[in-house]
Amino acid sequence: MTMPFAVLLAALALAATAPAAPLAAQQGETFQSEQASFRLERVAGPLEHPWGLAFLPDGSMLVTERPGRLRLATPQGRLSEPLKGLPRIDSGGQGGLLDVATAPDFAQSRRVYISYTEPGQGGVNGTAIAHGRLSDDGTALEQVTVIFQQMPKFSGGHHFGSRLAFAPDGTLFATLGERNSQREKAQDLSTHLGKIVRINPDGSVPKDNPFVGRGDARPEIYSYGHRNPQGLTIHPETGQLWEHEHGARGGDEINLPQPGRNYGWPVISYGVHYSGAKIGQGQERQGMEQPIHYWDPSIAPSGMAFYNGDKFPGWKGDLFVGALVQTHLARLEVEGTRIVREERLLEDWGERIRDVRAGPDGALYLLNDHPDAAIWRLVPAE
């Protein structure tokens, strides 16, 4: 007889190392937002450069570590040993084990999706997506299958993109960077570089993708002209896809990707190259889409989530984005498809924020990017 998953997680928790007490709680610190007062609690750690977080139906979490580990964390903050069964992962630079998502039917299928840097022959690599079944005892991914491989592969350790998001119709969106050295290929439809792709849960191509049937284009492509997208989410009410991406020196963008549209990189940008040189042709060009919001100077955005819970009524409908370089959490007030106000939270914390997720318990969860990092949550101040 198979032991219930929640019981097995509890057993794992007893064998795992307990996390340190919440830092903010030790200090008795309360943070003040324009719309809420909150505390920052450390949930589970230590984690080495965690990258992606996904919630399971019982409130436990799957969390990735960039060096190539996938772990389970209980709501009480206990971490499992790394799960077995993952595919080969090329960890180095910005690459490694990146995002994680659960299938919409996880409660029945127990299927988990991961994005990661896949090694190739001759020192090349590229973003790939695989899925597997989370074992009944919660210790492994079983029946792991690679369902997507970014083509072509290149050498290097930068700009893998790699966020995952399931659409309301069950298709899977994934972001793919242009590998930095291959920036011109973001405009080349014969490659996956600098694109958002849309695939079915088994990796096949949806028949209504915009470039299906074109001999000069990869059929998985949904939109193109992207630089290094590390934020992707679905609006909880409209079902619209929202995406953000890194600019160079300035020009980080939020876009609302539409099928077949060109988002401009590296022809147009609101930033400049790191050398200070002009990028492409300026900020606008006919046939290329404009962002709905941009940052200059760059904040280096990573992670993206709409808040729709009940613990923070003043934040309902707001969009939250992590910042790596400027080390804060951006709270963006949204009206329709416009960003009308921005507030910067946790600036004094001084941590690179890699991912942001809205939890099923109504709290807001963060991953900080550090060799000794953790899962954190924002809860109302009492």
- Phi, psi (deg, nearest 5) at residue 226: -105, 155
What is the C-alpha separation between 267 and 289, in angstroms, rounded?
11
Catalytic site positions: 159
- Phi, psi (deg, nearest 5) at residue 187: -95, 0
What is the C-alpha separation between 307 and 28, in angstroms, rounded?
25
In the Cβ-directed half-sphere of 352, how many Cα atoms lie within 13 Å? 13
- Within a 10 A sphere around the Cβ of 130, how many other Cβ atoms? 21
- Residues 58/59/60/62 CA torsion (nearest 10 deg): 110
